[in-house]
A = this chain, B = another copy of it.
Amino acid sequence: MALEIDLHCDMGESFGIYSLGNDQAMMPHVTSISVGCGFHAGDPHVMRQTVALAKEHGVAVGSHPGFPDLIGFGRRKMHISRQEAADYIIYQTGALKAFCDQAGVALQHIKPHGELYQMAWHDDDLARGILEGLAVFRPTPIFLALYNTLPYNLARQMGVRVAGELYADLDYLPDGTTTIKKKHGAVNVAATVDKVLKMVLENKVATLDGQEITVQGRSICLHGDNPRAPELAQALRRELEARGVKILPLHAQSFA
């Protein structure tokens, strides 16, 4: 069976008068987006507009819930309880789902943002809270998570459809986790394409310290604040398709 890969970007991170990212330029090149839900970024107006833009381009939509920390963009560690994690996922995703309903698009997936995504790698309670929040929605959204992390494995155990996320433009550590960058510099497109091809076709990626580790994933995450991101997305699509990989949103992929 042909490999299937989703091209994915976090969007809807503007707030009020403040503009962030490059959603207009990236939308034509991706198959899925994760939309900020008003806690770490995004507001009701931005959410509506982002979902409408996705629909216009036939792009699948997921929620991107984060910590209630706008000033820190959800990138500061906060210690919340399992119940709070569930409640925050439900609140934010529920709000986004209403905009999806308005636009007539499905809620494809949930992908926690920033430190809510990262802290759960090492916090069983947090991971469980996130998945309890996800379980509220029908049809159950796909869980977008980093391969082989605690929440990824937990979701698999629970029978939740989970999609591994591959980072085109972040560095990998030996344990398979990645480093957040405050700002994503200009990427080397050719080198990044090579890295992604290796991740997708050989399930291998080089770590920062020169090792090679196994990764699996259905979704390649691109960062829209990178000025060459649209170019990178186009190159990835072209090179992946040239090798027989199908570029498909998560909901159109085959889950065993």
Identify the A interface with B (CB < 8 A).
15-20, 38, 41, 43-45, 47-48, 68-73, 76-80, 83-84, 87-88, 90-99, 101-102, 136-138
Contacts and interface: CB of A to CB of B under 8 A. Distances in A.
Given A83-B45, A95-B94, A97-B94, A70 B16 contact: yes
A71 B16 contact: yes
A102 B90 contact: yes
Given A93-B98, A98-B97, A72 B138 contact: no
Contacts of A76: 78-80
Contacts of A20: 17-18
Contact of A69 (B44, B68, B87): B68
A20 B16 CA distance: 11
A96 B94 contact: yes
Contacts of A15: 15, 18, 70-71
12 contacts: A15-B70, A44-B90, A45-B84, A76-B80, A78-B78, A78-B79, A91-B98, A91-B99, A94-B96, A94-B101, A95-B98, A101-B137
Contact of A94 (B71, B72, B94): B94
Most interface-central of A48, A68, A98 (chain B CB within 10 A) = A98
Given A15-B71, A91-B95, 10 more contacts: A18-B18, A18-B19, A43-B71, A47-B91, A70-B70, A72-B78, A72-B80, A76-B79, A90-B95, A102-B136
B91 A38 contact: yes
Contacts of A96: 94
B98 A16 contact: no
A101 B136 contact: yes
Nearest to A182: B17
Contacts of A87: 44-45, 47-48
Most interface-central of A18, A73, A102 (chain B CB within 10 A) = A18
